[in-house]
Structures are given as C-alpha cells and as structure tokens.
C-alpha cells in the first residue's frame, strides 16, 4: 500500500479497504525500517500521528464529510511550527524548542485531516542545496545513499522517494522544493509568492520564502496544494484571491494549443549531457501532445544568482537576529556575572553552523553603511529586471520550461568545501523566487550516465499556478505511457517495500 499514490490510498480509505490507522502504521514501520540509512526525519511523532489517524477513522465511520486527503500521512519540513512538536530548523540554536502554536500550513493540514508523521531534516535555516548543512547530519538520497537528496528540503523529498510518506511539505527560497524533487525523482511545487501563508514559517528571506506541496505524482501535489493554500490575515504578504484551480488542471492535463517557452539562458552550457537529453525528449513528448514549443530569451537571468546571494543573506541577517539566547533555544555562557551581550555572542557562535554564519556576515556587510546602495539596492534593481524578463516572456507563451538542475545528484561531501559550486545548483530555480511566480519540478527520466533522476521545471505567471499542473500532468502521462511504470518503481531495494 505504501507504494501507491495518495489518490489511490484515499480511494482505498473511502471503500473501507484500509484505515488511516493501518496506513499510518505502515508508514511508521517503513520509517523504522529504512530511515536509519536515509535520515529523512529529525522527529517522528508516533503517538501524535496515530492519534490523528484514529480520529479520522472515527469521523469516517460516523459518516462525516471529509476532505479528499483525510487520513493520508505526510512528512513536514522542520521549518514550520507545530504546537508541542520539536522545531529546530536543522539548527542547534533551536534544539529542544517546542512551539506554542501551529503555523497556518499545519492548521490547514489538520483541518484537511492529513496525518502529520513528523518533522523532516533540512539544511540549517533552509540555507543549502544538499541537506549537508543540517546540524543533525546529512540526509541520503534513496536512489544512491552516497549522494545528496537536494536541499534545503532534502528530508521531505527523501521521505517521498523512500516511501516513508506519500505527501510532504517543503519550503522554497531559491529552489529548496524543486531542486530536491529533481534529484529524487519526485514532484515539488513552489506556489506563487503569497499563495500559501508564511505565518509560522521560520523566516530565512521574507521576500523569497514560500511553503509548498511535495508528492510523487502531479495530482497528489495538486490536492495538497489546494489543502494548504488560501488567504491568511495573519500574513501581510498573503494574497487575498481565490486559489487557482490546480486540481482541475491536474486532472485535465490538456496542453493542446498551449505555447511552451524554452528559456535560452537556462538551457545552454554547463548542463550534464544526460540532463539535456531527458529535457529534450520531454519537449518532444509535449509537442506530440499538442503544445507549441518556442524559444524565448530572458537576458537578465545571468545576474540572478549574484543578486539572490545579496538579497537573501541580507534578509537572513535581519531575520536571524532574533535568535539571541534570551527567549528560546539553547543558551551558552550564562554564568554568574556574564553580560547579555557575552551570552548572545557565545550562543550564536555555538548554535549557528558555518553556512549560516557565512550568510549572516555577507548580509550584514551588504546592508552596512556606505555599501547598501552598491550591493543590496543594486540587487533589488536586478530583481526588477528579472521580473520584467518574465513578463515579456509570458506575453509570448503560456508557460516557461527548463531543466530544474544542471546535474543529477552529486556525492555527499563533493561540493561541501566550495560554496560557489554549491550555489550554482540553483541557477535555474532562483529566477522564479526573484519574480515571485510559480514553479514546478517533476521527474522526466534517468540520466544515462549515472541512472539518477532528472527534473523538468515548469514556470507560470503569478496566480496562474494551474498552468503548471496542466503541463505537468500532460508530461507525466506521456512519460508514464513511455516507461510503462512510475519512475520510482526503478528505485533501489532500500525503499522497495510493498
């Protein structure tokens, strides 16, 4: 049962062929069996998950009207607060903290009757592309345990690929949903900025952060998207507009007459040969399904990476100032007579990891007197140019596409000592966050060089997220017809439970 889609599990629940308790226990058993090797979870809430599942079973037995995903288990990235459940953001500085409130995403999950299995591993405060920056050790890719599962949300994507959960929540600041989805052969969506509430999402970069759905199929992802999206008065950046009809789009999968723009600047040199091969094959399948493929140019995208690594660290420098040892988390050097400044300095030195410190220092410098206009101010001007590139491109086509990542999953430790090489993994995903539009990654095959998953990225205008789902569903159906079975059926025996 755990290898089925969430839609198939929901159908089995509706028919009385299984219960949420049985389904939840099966996934808890899978976590116990494989997570010692994968390390997708930081905390498994066995008691809480079984209690949620039992409540859903009682409600179903009583004839209550339930949501489409009621009783389905989910893995939650450890950057979203859940009342009474440890929330660390992958950092020692928050070790032992149990939030007194639920994030809006968690509130919406509970309202939909979705069972939260536990919190997943991540790069510390969502800063990374490999989940190697977690203070609690790296997560391993179920396709090859020597390789990274992407980041920062590698725990959520690895949980899906290892069949530890059929659904997951991630967050995406520069690709942290889409890049892990690409390298694990799963589906991940960054909704339009403001489409899903950020209340209770521990902030890294407030103008870029966005929570979103992760799953193993496009339709499962759409159903989860619809469950967590919507306006929230507690989030000043939340969009007060109807949620795009993503489920209907995922069910239709119609691309006849659609214009699909291939971004020239995201399809050039520097991409692994196998990534290019699978991407080109996917374009052919979409053309065969009735779409028109054209090439578009977004010339300012070449500056996106540099601008991002000024804007995001600047905002992180401000946001992470709140972790001062005074209110929550660990406290170091609190001996008699120690000053508050000394305690704060010692706690931040011990509590923050190397990458977080690097970005705080970079951001503080970019915001400092005499440098603000030259660095942060200029980066925001580049951001505007990137947004205008998207606007002009969408005047010519309905969606834009590119490979999600330049390469397949690299070896753990391979890029750990080279920050720039690590940052380049997000070269194709960052422009989406800079413009605040929607982006999706879905698997489009295995690279012939190494047999590892390749991701196909789809981008849509703001609040037109349904377009991504239409194209994603069409490509998924064409690929399934070509392969004869889901891509994850080829995953190694580690995750091969029935």
Q: Of these residues, 20, 129, 130, 176, which one is catalytic?
A: 176
> Would 283 be classed as within a structural domain?
yes
Q: Among 372, 396, 429, give the residue marking a domain's end.
A: 372
pLDDT at 164: 98
Residue-wise pLDDT tens digits, 75-134:
999 999 999 999 999 999 999 999 999 999 999 999 999 999 999 999 999 999 999 999
pLDDT at 494: 78
pLDDT at residue 176 is higher than 60: yes
Averaged pLDDT of the chain: 96
152 labelled catalytic:
yes
Residue-wise pLDDT tens digits, 26-82:
999 999 999 999 999 999 999 999 999 999 999 999 999 999 999 999 999 999 999
- State how far the Cα of 470 lies from the Cα of 464, in Å rounded to an integer: 11
pLDDT at residue 336 is higher than 80: no
Same domain, 289 and 310: no
CATH number at residue 126: 3.90.1300.10
Same domain, 26 and 106: yes
77 labelled catalytic:
yes
> Would 494 be classed as within a structural domain?
no
> Would 258 be classed as within a structural domain?
yes
Average pLDDT over residues 236-264: 97
- Give the model's confidence band at 497: pLDDT under 50 very low, under 70 low, under 90 confident, else very high: low
Q: Among 314, 349, 372, give the residue marking a domain's end.
A: 372
Same domain, 283 and 325: no
Same domain, 68 and 159: yes
441 labelled catalytic:
no
Same domain, 128 and 270: yes
Q: Of these residues, 152, 205, 402, 441, which one is catalytic?
A: 152
State the residue range of the domain holding 368: 304-372
Is 355:133 a contact under the CB 8 Å cutoff? yes
Nearest partner of 136 among 66, 212, 78, 217, judged by Cα: 78
Residue-wise pLDDT tens digits, 381-427:
999 999 999 999 999 999 999 999 999 999 999 998 898 899 999 99
Q: Of these residues, 5, 20, 77, 157, which one is catalytic?
A: 77
Residue-wise pLDDT tens digits, 265-307:
998 788 999 999 999 999 999 999 999 999 999 999 999 999 9
Nearest partner of 75 among 139, 155, 174, 21, judged by Cα: 155
The sheet carrying 187-190 orders its strands as 41-44, 115-120, 73-77, 167-171, 211-215, 187-190, 438-446, 453-460, 399-403, 259-263, 292-296
> Would 345 be classed as within a structural domain?
yes
> Would 355 be classed as within a structural domain?
yes
Same domain, 32 and 106: yes
User: How many domains does the chain fold into?
Assistant: 2
Q: Among 327, 342, 372, give the residue marking a domain's end.
A: 372
């Amino acid at each position: 049962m755990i290898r089925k889609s969430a839609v198939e599990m929901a159908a089995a629940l509706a028919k009385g062929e299984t219960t949420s308790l049985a389904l939840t226990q099966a996934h808890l058993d899978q976590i116990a069996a494989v997570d010692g090797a994968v390390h997708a979870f930081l905390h498994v809430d066995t008691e809480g998950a079984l209690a949620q599942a039992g409540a859903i079973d009682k409600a179903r037995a009583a004839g209550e009207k339930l949501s489409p995903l009621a009783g389905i288990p989910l893995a939650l990235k450890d950057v979203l607060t859940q009342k009474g459940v440890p929330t660390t953001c992958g950092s020692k500085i928050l070790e032992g903290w149990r939030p007194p409130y639920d994030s809006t995403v968690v509130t919406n999950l509970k309202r939909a009757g979705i069972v939260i299995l536990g919190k997943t591993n991540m790069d510390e405060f969502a800063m990374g592309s490999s989940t190697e920056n977690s203070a609690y050790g790296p997560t391993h890719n179920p396709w090859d345990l020597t390789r990274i599962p992407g980041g920062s949300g590698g725990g959520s994507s690895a949980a899906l690929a290892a069949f530890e959960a059929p659904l997951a929540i991630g967050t995406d600041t520069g690709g942290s949903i889409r890049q892990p989805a690409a390298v694990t052969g799963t589906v991940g969506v960054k909704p339009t900025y403001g489409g899903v509430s950020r209340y209770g999402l521990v902030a890294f970069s407030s103008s870029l952060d966005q929570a979103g759905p992760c799953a193993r199929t496009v339709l499962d992802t759409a159903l989860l998207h619809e469950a967590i999206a919507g306006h929230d008065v507690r989030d000043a950046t939340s969009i007060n507009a109807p949620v795009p009809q993503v489920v209907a789009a995922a069910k239709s999968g119609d691309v006849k007459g659609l214009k699909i723009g291939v971004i020239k600047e995201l399809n050039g040199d520097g991409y692994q040969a196998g990534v290019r091969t699978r991407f080109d094959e996917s374009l052919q399948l979409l053309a065969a399904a009735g779409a028109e493929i054209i090439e578009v140019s977004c010339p300012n995208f070449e500056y996106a990476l540099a601008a991002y690594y000024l804007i995001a660290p600047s905002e992180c420098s401000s946001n992470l100032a709140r972790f001062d040892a005074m209110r929550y988390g660990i406290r170091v050097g609190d001996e008699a007579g120690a000053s508050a400044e000394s305690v704060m300095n010692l706690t931040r030195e011990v509590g923050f990891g190397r990458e977080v410190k690097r970005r705080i220092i970079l951001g503080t410098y970019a915001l400092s007197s005499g440098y603000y206009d030259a660095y942060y101010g200029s980066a925001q001007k580049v951001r505007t140019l990137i947004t205008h590139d998207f606007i002009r491109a969408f005047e010519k086509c309905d969606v834009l596409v590119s490979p999600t990542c330049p390469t397949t999953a690299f070896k753990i430790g391979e890029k750990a000592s080279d920050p720039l090489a690590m940052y380049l993994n997000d070269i194709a995903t960052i422009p989406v966050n800079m413009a605040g539009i929607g982006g999706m990654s879905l698997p489009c095959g295995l690279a012939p060089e190494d047999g590892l998953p390749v991701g196909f990225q789809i981008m849509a205008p703001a609040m037109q997220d349904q377009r991504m789902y239409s194209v994603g569903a069409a490509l998924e159906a064409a690929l399934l017809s070509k392969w004869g079975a889901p891509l994850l059926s080829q995953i190694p025996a580690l995750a091969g439970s029935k």
